[in-house]
């Protein structure tokens, strides 16, 4: 009986993995991510030839920093730990593209740009924790470091096909930003191939994310 329950839980974690907002999908899977918060609007479309990496297009509009970025992004699953009741992942995320200034002396200027960072997460059926960082270099247009962490809790354990709910708190740190610490309580809902997140940060700015995986 215990073996059967362990197997069912492992299957449940695998199902949940397929619709989380993670940078690598299942082999042959496409993912569309639209992310919006108080600082940046992004669109990321990627394809995963295998379960180890994905390749796609990334667009970013940094409102406060007055530039946009069009890039090719590569995500690599460095390590995954699958346990009977939990899972953990480490990813390397990098991109190469063109940044365009949108205001001031940089308005209309373009520059080669690149970014690199790591992302880590751990979860079981009730708790979630993650950390992510990134350094972006866009020459004379901009250069900055950012990092963020999340802590989440599921108030109930849903079965396959149910609406799953997570309550989360996200903390972002951008040392060179006007507001270098941002705290955002948010709710995550996912069902089937759809994931939706909404929240409001400590400055009253909206976070709204949508992920579609197929």
**Where are the domains positioned within the chain?**
2-213
Whether the per-residue pLDDT at 8 is higher than 80: the answer is no
What is the enclosing helix (H) or strand (E) of 68? strand 67-82
**Over pLDDT 70: what percentage of the chain?**
90
Distance CA 84, CA 11 (A): 9
Region 33-54: mean pLDDT is: 96
Q: For residues 177-202, give the mean pLDDT.
A: 93
User: pLDDT by residue (tens digit) across 83-94?
Assistant: 999 999 999 999
Q: What is the separation of C-alpha 95 from the centre of its chain, rounded to a whole number of angstroms?
A: 14
pLDDT at 9 exceeding the cut of 80: no
For residue range 124-139, list pLDDT tens digits in order.
999 999 999 999 999 9
Identify the pLDDT of residue 12: 39
Per-residue model confidence (pLDDT) at position 105: 73
And the tokens for 114?
């690149």
Output 64 or 5, whichever has higher pLDDT: 64
Phi, psi of 196, deg, nearest 5: -130, 135
- The fold of 2-213 is Porin (2.40.160)
Closest CA relative to residue 198, chosen from 207, 211, 210, 190: 207
What would the two tokens of residue 62 be? Answer: 């940094």
Question: Could you tell me the pLDDT band of residue 11, with boundaries at 50, 70 and 90?
Answer: very low
What pLDDT does residue 159 have? Answer: 84
Cα–Cα dist 58/178, whole Å: 24
* pLDDT at 20 (0 to 100): 58
Separation CA 197–CA 190 (nearest Å): 9
């Amino acid at each position: 009986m215990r073996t059967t329950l362990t197997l069912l839980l492992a299957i449940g974690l695998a199902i949940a993995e397929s619709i989380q907002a993670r940078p690598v999908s299942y082999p042959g899977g496409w993912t569309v991510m639209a992310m919006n918060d108080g600082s940046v609007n992004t669109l990321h479309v990627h394809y995963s030839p295998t379960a180890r990496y994905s390749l796609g297009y990334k667009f970013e509009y940094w409102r406060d920093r007055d530039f946009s970025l069009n890039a090719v992004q590569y995500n690599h699953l460095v390590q995954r730990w699958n346990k009977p009741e939990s899972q953990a992942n480490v990813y390397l995320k990098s991109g190469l593209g063109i940044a365009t200034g949108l205001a001031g002396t940089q308005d209309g200027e373009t520059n080669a740009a690149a970014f690199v960072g790591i992302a880590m997460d751990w979860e079981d059926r009730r708790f979630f924790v993650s950390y992510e960082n990134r350094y972006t270099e866009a020459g004379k247009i901009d250069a900055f470091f950012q990092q963020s962490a999340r802590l989440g809790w599921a108030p109930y354990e849903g079965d396959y096909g149910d609406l799953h709910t997570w309550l989360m708190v996200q903390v972002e740190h951008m040392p060179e930003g006007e507001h270098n610490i941002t705290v955002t309580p948010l709710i995550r809902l996912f069902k089937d191939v759809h994931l939706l997140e909404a929240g409001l940060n400590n400055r009253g700015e909206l976070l709204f994310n949508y992920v579609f995986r197929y």
